[in-house]
Chains A and B, each alone.
Chain A
Amino acid sequence: MEFLKATNIVKQFANHLALDKVDITVPEKSIFGLLGPNGAGKTTLIRIINQITAPDSGSILINGQALKSEDVHRIGYLPEERGLYKKMKVGEQALYLVQLKGIKKQDALRKLKYWFEKFEIQGWWDKKVEELSKGMAQKIQFITTILHEPQLLIFDEPFSGFDPINANLVKQEILNLRDKGATIIFSTHNMSSVEELCDHIALINVGKNILDGSIHDIRNKYKADTYQVIYRGDSTRLKDALHNRVSFSEEPVSGDETKVYLKKLNGSSTRELIEIMNPLVDIVSFNEVVPNMNDIFIRAVEETKTQDKAQ
C-alpha cells in the first residue's frame, strides 16, 4: 500500500523546467530514497510535498487523499539548508518549532524532555544556539523534526555534520521510526547509506524520473552476468578452457591468489562454469557481481545524458 503518490508533477521556473512529469510512489512504512545529481529537482519535489511551493500541474495523494494544508502536521521535514535562531535558547526554540507543528505546549514539553534525555543533551536547554557546535545543533533539529510523530518524514542529507557515532545514533532512530510505522523519504548523495537504509528509491535527473523501484530489483536489473572469482593455480589453462564461454579480465592482487572477473557470453550456467574451473584451479571464492548504488547512480545518469545528446 502506498503512503504517498505523486503523479505527473510539473514545475516550471522562469528559466528552466525543474520537474517534468515526475511520478513517485512511496510505499507505506518504508524508507524511500530520493536520489539525483545536484540540481535534478529533488529539493523542488520535496518542497512541493511540504506545500512550500505548489506544482504547476500534477497531483499528490497522501493515503489516497489529496494533499491539503493541514497535512503539514503529518509531515516532518529536515531540509538540507537548515539552521536555528542563533540568539534563541535551545529549549525555547525547540518548543517554538514544535508548537508550530501544532503540538500543545504541555505535550511538547513532556516529549522534548524525553528526547533530550535520550540524546543526553538535557544540559543544553538554557544554552543559546550560537554556543553549540554544528553537530549539536543538528541533533536539536532532528528532534524537532520527529517530535510531533509525523506519519511522513522527509530527511534531506540527515547525516551531514554528524560524527560517525552520532550519525549512527541518528541512523538507528530513523530505522526505529520506520519500525514504528512512519514512512520516510530520504534524500542523500551518500550511496552507501542508501544501500544500508532504503527499501525503495527513485532517481531523478534534470527534472525527470529515470529510475525507480525497490533497491533489490534495481540492483538485479543492473547486474551484467559478471562474476568475481578468486583462485589459486594456473591462469593460462583456465583461460583456454573458458575462452568461448566468458570474457576474462584479471585484476592484480598480492600473494599467490588471482582475482578475475568473468562475464558470461553465451548463456552458460554458473554450474557449468564451476564444473570447468574446479578441476583446473583451487577456487577461493565465486561471487556474482551485483552493482552498488554508486555505480548504478553514475550509469543511470550517464545514460540519460547520452540519450539527451542523441535526441
Chain B
Amino acid sequence: MNKIGLIIRREFLSRVKKKSFIIMTILAPILFAGLMIVPGLMATMGDKEEKVIAVIDETNILDGVFHNDDHLSFEYIDNSSLGDIKDSFKESGYYAILFIPTNILTVERVQLYSDKQTTIGVNTHISSDLNRFFEKIRLQQENVPIDILERVKSNVKVETKQWTSTGEEKSSSAGLASGIGYGAGFLIYFFIFMYGAQVMRGVMEEKSSRIVEVIVSSVKPFQLMMGKVVGVALVGLTQFLLWIILTLVLIMGAQMLLVGDSGSSSSQEIAQSVMESRTGGTMQELDISELEQVFQDISGAIESVPVGLLIGSFLFFFLGGYLLYASLFAAIGSAVDNETDTQQFMLPITIPLILGIFVMINAMQAPHAPLAFWFSIIPLTSPIVMMVRIPFGVPAWELALSASLLILCFLGTIWLAGKIYRTGILMYGKKVNYAELWKWIRYKN
C-alpha cells in the first residue's frame, strides 16, 4: 500500500472506531426517524382504547353535537347528578365526565372531570365540536341560513406548473424545491464545519503529541495533510451514507409495524394519521380524496425535481466545499499550539460560511436574483448557495462556471495550505500572526 493510502486508512479507521462516531451514527437516524414516525405512531398506537365520556347536559340543547369516532364515544346521561356519577366513576368505566352547565352560551366553558389527566386529543375533539356548534348557533341568531354556511367553506390550493426547455409542463412544488435545497445546503454547511474542525484538531493533535516530525521523516508533509483531509472526508461520507441507510431502514421498519397493526397496506393511511395527530384531529373534515390529491401533487413534484442532478451536484459541492475549507482548517491547526489560539484564524473561515447560510435563506425566496447568483458563483459560498438554487432550475453554464471556479479555488487553497502546513507543523512556541503566515507561504521549501 502506498504511503498516502496508509495515512488515509489510519485517519479513517481511527475515527470510525471511536465511540463518539458510533454513537453519533446510530443516534442521529433514530432521531431523524423518530421525528417522522413518532407522531404517526402515537396517533395509531397510543390511543387504542375505547374511551367513553359521560355527558351531563344541563341545557338539553347539545344532543348530537359530539360526534363519535373509533376511539371516542359520548354517552348522554339524563337522570343523574354530577356527584352521583363521580361517586360511581370507578365502576362505571367512563373515561371522563363532561359537565355542561346551563349558562354555557354566555360563559363558553364546560368542565371535563376525570381521575386521570385527559389527553389533548380528547380536549380538542370536544372543543372543536362545541366551537362548530356555537358558530352555527350564532350565525342562526344573525339569520344566516345553514346552507350558506356550508357554501362559504372553502379550501383553495395553488398548483404550480413549470415549463421545461422542451415546453412540456410539469407539476412542481416551490415548497419541496426550497425544502430540498435548504436541506442540502445546510448539510454541506454543517459537514464543512464539523469535519473541517476534525481535520484541524487532528493536525493539532499530531503537533502537540510531537509525532509529526517522526512522520514527516517518512512522508512529505503534503502527503500527510492530504491523507488526513481525504481520510476525514471518507469518514464524513461514511457517516452520511450510514445515516441515510439507517434512517430508511428505521422508517421502513416502523411502517411495516404500523401497517401490520392497522391492517391496512396503504402508506397514505400512515401519512394521514401523522397529519391528523399534528392538526389535533381536525383532519377528519378533509376527506380522503382530497388527501390523495395532496400526495399525488407531492409525488408529481418530486418527479419534477432533477434527482440525479441534485445528488450529483450535492456530492460535488460537498466534496469541493469540504476540500476548500478542510485544507484551510489544516493550515490553521498547523500554525497554532493550542485550541485557544485558533480563534483569530477561524474568523476568515467562519464569515464566508455564515454569509453563505444567510444568502441561502434569501435565495430560497429569490433563487434567480443577482445576490443568489453571485454567491453561488463565488467559490467560498457557492457550495451552500448553489445547492439551494438547483431545485429551482439553474442554467448549465452557471453550474459549469461555479463548479470550475470551485475546483480552481480548492486547488489554490490546498496549495496555499500546504505551504503554511509544511512550516507550521514543525514550529513550536511561537505566537503566529498573519504576517508570519505570509512569510511561511513565501518560503521556497
Q: CB within 8 Å of B: which residues of A?
A: 13-14, 47, 50, 52-54, 56, 69, 72, 75, 77-79, 81-88, 96-97, 99-102, 141, 144
B243 to chain A, nearest CB (A): 24
Interchain residue pairs A-B with the least CB separation, the first 9: A83-B210, A54-B445, A100-B218, A77-B217, A79-B213, A83-B209, A50-B217, A14-B439, A83-B211
Contact of B444 among A50, A56, A69, A81 (CB under 8 A): A56
Measured CB to CB, the closest approach of chain B to A8, in angstroms, equals 17
CB distance from A34 to the nearest CB of B (A): 16
How far apart are B17's CB and chain A's nearest CB, in angstroms? 10
Task: Tell me, in angstroms, the Cα distance from A53 to B445 when the chains sit together.
Answer: 6
Give CA–CA (A299, B211) in the complex, Å.
36
Are B205 and A77 touching (Cβ within 8 A)? Answer: no
Which range holds the interface residue count of chain B?
20 to 34
A79 to B216, CA, bound (A): 11
Give the residues from 1 to 29 in chain B that come closer than 8 angstroms, CB to CB, to chain A. 1, 3, 6-7, 10, 14
* A292 CA / B57 CA spacing, docked (Å): 113
Alpha-carbon distance between A306 and B262 when the two chains are bound, in angstroms: 97
Per-residue CB proximity of B189-223 to A under 8 Å, as 1/0? 00000000000000001100111011111111100
Indicate which residue in B214, B219, B444, B445 contacts A77 across the interface (CB closer than 8 Å): B214
Within B218-239, the residues touching A (CB, 8 Å) are: 218-221
**Of A53, A56, A99, A141, the contact of B214 (CB 8 Å cutoff):** A141
A residues less than 8 Å from B205 (CB atoms): 85-86
11 contacts between A and B (CB under 8 A): A14-B439, A50-B217, A72-B217, A72-B218, A77-B217, A81-B428, A85-B205, A96-B6, A97-B218, A100-B215, A144-B214
- Identify the closest chain A residue to B224 (Cβ): A100
Complex: A82 Cα to B10 Cα, angstroms: 19
- Any chain A CB within 8 A of the CB of B426? yes
With A72-B218, A86-B205 known, 7 other A-B pairs at CB within 8 A are A50-B217, A52-B426, A81-B213, A85-B209, A97-B214, A100-B215, A102-B218
Residues of B close to A79: CB separation below 8 A: 213-214, 217
Question: Digit string of B149-179 for contact with A (CB within 8 Å is 1, else 0)?
Answer: 0000000000000000000000000000000
* With known contacts A84-B209, A88-B14, A100–B445 Cβ distance under 8 A: no
Complex partner residue of A82 from B210, B219, B220, B221, CB under 8 angstroms: B210
A13 CA / B444 CA spacing, docked (Å): 10
Q: Are B209 and A52 in contact, with the CB atoms below 8 A? A: no
Closest A residue, CB atoms, query B213: A79
Q: Which residue of B lies closest to A96 (CB)?
A: B10
Residues from chain B with Cβ under 8 Å of A14 in the complex? 439, 443
Q: Is the pair A86, B209 in contact by a Cβ cutoff of 8 Å?
A: yes
Residues of chain B lying within 8 A (CB to CB) of residue A88: 14
B428 (CB) vs chain A CBs: closest residue: A81
Q: Which residue of A lies closest to B10 (CB)?
A: A96
Write the nearest CB–CB distance from B201 to chain A, whole angstroms. 12
- CA–CA, A284 and B278, complex, Å: 107
The answer to whether A101 touches B209, judged by C-beta atoms less than 8 angstroms apart, is: no
Determine the chain A residues whose CB is within 8 A of the CB of B215 once the complex forms.
97, 100
Complex Cα–Cα for A100 and B10 (A) = 11
Nearest residue, chain A, Cβ from B215: A100
Which residues does chain A contribute within 8 Å of B444, judged by CB atoms?
Answer: 54, 56
Do A47 and B426 touch across chains, with their CB atoms under 8 A apart? Answer: yes
- In angstroms, Cα B442 to Cα A56, docked, is 13
Most buried by B among A72, A100, A101: A100
Report the separation of the CA atoms of residues A75 and B218 in the bound assembly, to the nearest whole angstrom.
9
* Contact B3–A100 (Cβ < 8 Å): yes
A78: B residues at CB distance < 8 A: 214
Bound complex: CA A86 to CA B443 (Å): 32
Cross-chain contact B219 with A100 (CB below 8 angstroms): yes
What residues of B have a CB within 8 angstroms of the CB of A86 in the complex?
205, 209
- A21 CB to closest chain B CB, in angstroms? 18
Kindly list chain B residues whose C-beta atoms are within 8 Å of the C-beta of A56.
Answer: 444
Cα A86 to Cα B6 in complex, Å, equals: 18
Say how far B3's CB is from chain A's closest CB, in angstroms. 6
B218, A81: Cβ atoms closer than 8 Å: no
Alpha-carbon gap, A78 to B213, bound state (A): 9
Shortest Cβ distance from residue B335 to the other chain A in the assembled complex, whole angstroms: 15
- By a CB distance below 8 angstroms, the chain B residues around A50 are 217
Q: In whole angstroms, how far apart are the Cα atoms of A88 and B9 in the complex?
A: 13
Contact A99 B6 (CB under 8 A): yes
CB-CB < 8 A to B219: which residues of A? 72, 100
Shortest C-beta distance, A141 to chain B (Å), equals: 7
**A103 → chain B closest CB, angstroms:** 10
